[in-house]
Amino acid sequence: MALNLAKAVLGYLKERPDEKLTARQIAEWIFVTFPDECQAKKQSSQYVSTDAELVQQLVAEISSQRPRLQKRHPELKTTEGRPRKYYYSEKSDVAEVAAAEGVVAAPMADSSDAKLGEHAMYPLLSLYLWEEFGVYSKRIDEKRSSNKRGPNGNRWLYPDVVGMEDLGAEWHQEVRDCVNQYSDKRTKLWSFEAKLLINRSNVRECFFQAVSNSSWANFGYLVAAEIEGQDTLKELRMLFAAHGIGLIKLDADNPAESQVLIPARERDEIDWDMANRLATENQDFLEYVKLVKQFYQTGEARLSDWDIPETTD
């Protein structure tokens, strides 16, 4: 009997609603579950001669059949970024966002099924930023803001995480001293808005929230633990072209494997008027400004002052 790949993929995912699997994981399951059909497929192909090549062929066919399958079965959904993951869900895009944002538990080291809460993203993001870019980061808690402007007066004002990049970390000491005395080009300041899930229902809201609260910085980024929907990343790239906000796909299981899917466009100057408003109304942001000032005064940044998780080698 010939292998009905589309039926096998859909059936496998439907039995595991909301479980996200790569094309390779699905292909390996098909290879084990349908041994006779897979061997017949291998024998009938002039391009496949080994089991490993057959699995790779299944991976390629799953990927190529995805657009057609999703048109026929809207419940078959995928994440964006690499590796793309497939899952079956009857929830609407809005319901998926609501479900994701309702999760508060941090992932546990001994449980692959535990879900990520937004607050658990911050130390993972800080670790990635430090290891990948050498960026010193700091969490901004909007709850530490004044409420002088009313309940929505500070809406979309504060980023979740801010950062400072030391451009002269590898410079000679004399050069660092010279730059500290005669220019303000020793650092780049970063701003990050973190989201558990971005899909077609909330992509524009998330993006413009990042635009709003990152307008003061040299670099502004939207950070997502999951990006779902085949048009979501396309929409973000179009928005980037107009506004320059970048996109980071945060890998919660292995922060070092996180990806900058869209590099942010640099702004040459800090908007100090906006930075002043944030510092005036939020104690965390004021502490961040003090740390940047301290760096310019001393030429050094102490890791203990920043939100950089300790790692064990």
Residues composing the chain: 313
Residue with tokens 């609501």: 98
Domains of the chain (ranges plus CATH)? 5-90 (1.10.10), 118-305 (no CATH)
Rounded to the nearest integer, the mean pLDDT of the chain is 82
pLDDT at residue number 280: 83
Separate counts of helices (H) and strands (E) for the chain: 11, 9
Query: Torsions phi, psi of 67, nearest 5?
Result: -60, -40
The b-or-e profile of 16-45 (16+ CB within 10 A means b, else e) is eeeebbbbebbbeebbeebeebbeebbeee
Query: What percent of the chain is predicted at pLDDT more than 70?
Result: 86
| 26-35, 45-54, 170-179, 278-287, range with the lowest pLDDT | 170-179
Per-residue model confidence (pLDDT) at position 108: 39
User: Which pLDDT value is given to residue 105?
Assistant: 39
- What's this model's pTM, rounded to 2 decimal places? 0.68
Residues contacting residue 172 through CB under 8 Å, at least 6 positions apart: none
Could you give phi then psi for residue 82, rounded to 5 degrees? Answer: -120, 135
Residue 242, token pair as written in the block: 């107009």
Q: Are strands 187-198 and 219-227 parallel, antiparallel or unpaired?
A: parallel
Q: What is the pLDDT of residues 64-94, one digit of tens each?
A: 888 888 888 888 888 877 778 888 887 877 7
User: Cβ of 113: how many Cβ atoms within 10 Å?
Assistant: 7
pLDDT tens, residue by residue, 203-261: 999 999 999 989 899 999 999 998 987 788 889 999 998 899 999 999 888 888 898 99
